[in-house]
Amino acid sequence: MFIDSAEIRVKAGDGGNGCVAFRREKFVPRGGPSGGDGGRGGSVYAVADPSFTTLYHLRHQMLFKAQNGQHGMGSNCHGSTASDVMVPLPLGSVVVDPDSGERVADLLHAGEKVLLAGGGNGGWGNQHFATSTRQAPRFARKGLPGAERRLTIELKLLADVAIVGFPNAGKSTLISVISAAKPKIADYPFTTLTPNLGVVRGDDHRTLVVADIPGLIEGAHLGAGLGIRFLKHVERCRLLCHLVDASTSGDAEHDVAVLEGELEAFSPEIASRPRLLVASKCDAVSDPDRLESIRAAARRRGLPYRAISAATRLGLEDLVRDFFRLAGARDALPTVSGAATPDPAVSES
């Protein structure tokens, strides 16, 4: 099951209390205070774990609680520090404090570790409070409470290229041919109900991650069809591959404009990303004017254009090369605030 949002509670451990004790040793009269300090409570961390691909595991565990630190003891013995608790999250997880709106973590790299709730410091034993005028303090400091907070987690897939388009435009078929992904493929609308990821290999052993986004229809930003729930997964993509079905009839300008409008309604920044307009299912073209209208729509917008057929592999090698030239290096993941600019290296074919 694909789960891309969750809410959890984290509670760090409280610090152990300081100890009130006095030395009672033979031949050591009035030995003085010997109370040890309390141990620090355990903290709660988020850790980016590539072995997780969804937030499904958080459905069964919503509370992550660390242990308290051990109390101090006599003979100047300090309490032990409690162990930390790790919350494994898939790459691309964004952790937000809903009460303050603070973005606590944005996990982009494997092994990245971010503090969610800090453990409380241990209290001081009475040995710290001895002075020349107060040689036998009978008090100690209590440990501090650990942090506690409610957090929401949202998963945004880390993909270089996002394949978008109307239902049944051939998105799942394309990703199944150019990668090892095995999405559900059928001849009815909304076959894809969750995003699919596939790794595409280039000629020089480089790789790109491609995401198949469930189909959009007119009015998606108002909740029609599957709505725009999954469009958040294209926020980190550097390139949008817009598939338009060439096997139907009619002018494609309306289809292209509708999807552009839905992207714009969701995020103007995403709509401004580099885009590749692709005519799909070219092996089953029944109306040549339809194919020409897709090319004309790309020309009017100044977008790179490709005509492909996933069934016959027509144009797929050139399309994959375009992916690598337009998507660039994986290091620079797009952020919500910065829009990518088109690469002039790819020309209309």
Q: How far apart are CA 336 and CA 263, in angstroms?
A: 14
Identity at 257, one-letter amino acid code: A
Alpha-carbon distances of 293 from 250, 252, 259, 262, rounded to whole Å: 8, 6, 16, 20
pTM of the model: 0.71
Domain-located, residue 11: yes
Strand partners, 77: 73
Tens of pLDDT, residue by residue, the chain (349 residues): 456 789 999 999 999 999 999 988 777 777 889 999 999 999 999 999 988 878 888 988 899 999 999 999 998 899 999 999 999 999 889 999 999 989 999 998 999 999 999 999 999 999 999 998 888 899 999 999 999 999 999 888 778 898 988 888 888 889 888 887 675 555 544 455 567 778 888 777 778 888 888 777 666 555 655 556 667 777 788 899 999 999 888 888 988 998 888 888 888 888 888 999 999 999 988 888 999 999 999 999 999 999 999 889 999 999 998 998 888 644 444 443 333 333 333 333 3
Asked if residue 25 and residue 146 are part of one domain, the reply reads yes
- Asked whether the beta carbons of 263 and 187 are under 8 A apart, the reply is no
Residue 15 has a pLDDT of 97
Asked if residue 167 and residue 151 are part of one domain, the reply reads no
Asked if residue 171 and residue 94 are part of one domain, the reply reads no
Domain-located, residue 343: no
- Phi, psi dihedral angles at 268 (to 5 degrees): -60, -30
Domain-located, residue 333: no
**Could you say which of 133, 155, 177 is where a domain stops?**
155
CATH of the domain at 54: 2.70.210.12
Asked if residue 167 and residue 115 are part of one domain, the reply reads no
Residue 239 parent element (H or E): strand 239-245
Domain-located, residue 332: no
Give how many domains the chain has, as a whole number: 2
Domain-located, residue 296: yes
Domain-located, residue 274: yes
Residue 222 has a pLDDT of 59
Asked if residue 151 and residue 13 are part of one domain, the reply reads yes
- Asked whether the beta carbons of 6 and 35 are under 8 A apart, the reply is no
Asked if residue 196 and residue 128 are part of one domain, the reply reads no
Residue 229 has a pLDDT of 66
Radius of gyration from C-alpha coordinates of the chain: 29
Residue with tokens 């949008």: 240
- Asked whether the beta carbons of 74 and 34 are under 8 A apart, the reply is yes
CB atoms within 10 A of CB 229: 12
Asked if residue 6 and residue 52 are part of one domain, the reply reads yes
Asked if residue 239 and residue 124 are part of one domain, the reply reads no
* Owning domain of residue 91: 1-155
**Could you say which of 92, 126, 155 is where a domain stops?**
155
Asked if residue 190 and residue 294 are part of one domain, the reply reads yes
Strand partners, 113: 47
Domain-located, residue 349: no
Asked if residue 193 and residue 86 are part of one domain, the reply reads no
- Asked whether the beta carbons of 25 and 66 are under 8 A apart, the reply is no
Domain-located, residue 19: yes
CATH of the domain at 240: 3.40.50.300
Residue 318 parent element (H or E): helix 316-327
Asked if residue 248 and residue 106 are part of one domain, the reply reads no
Asked if residue 128 and residue 202 are part of one domain, the reply reads no
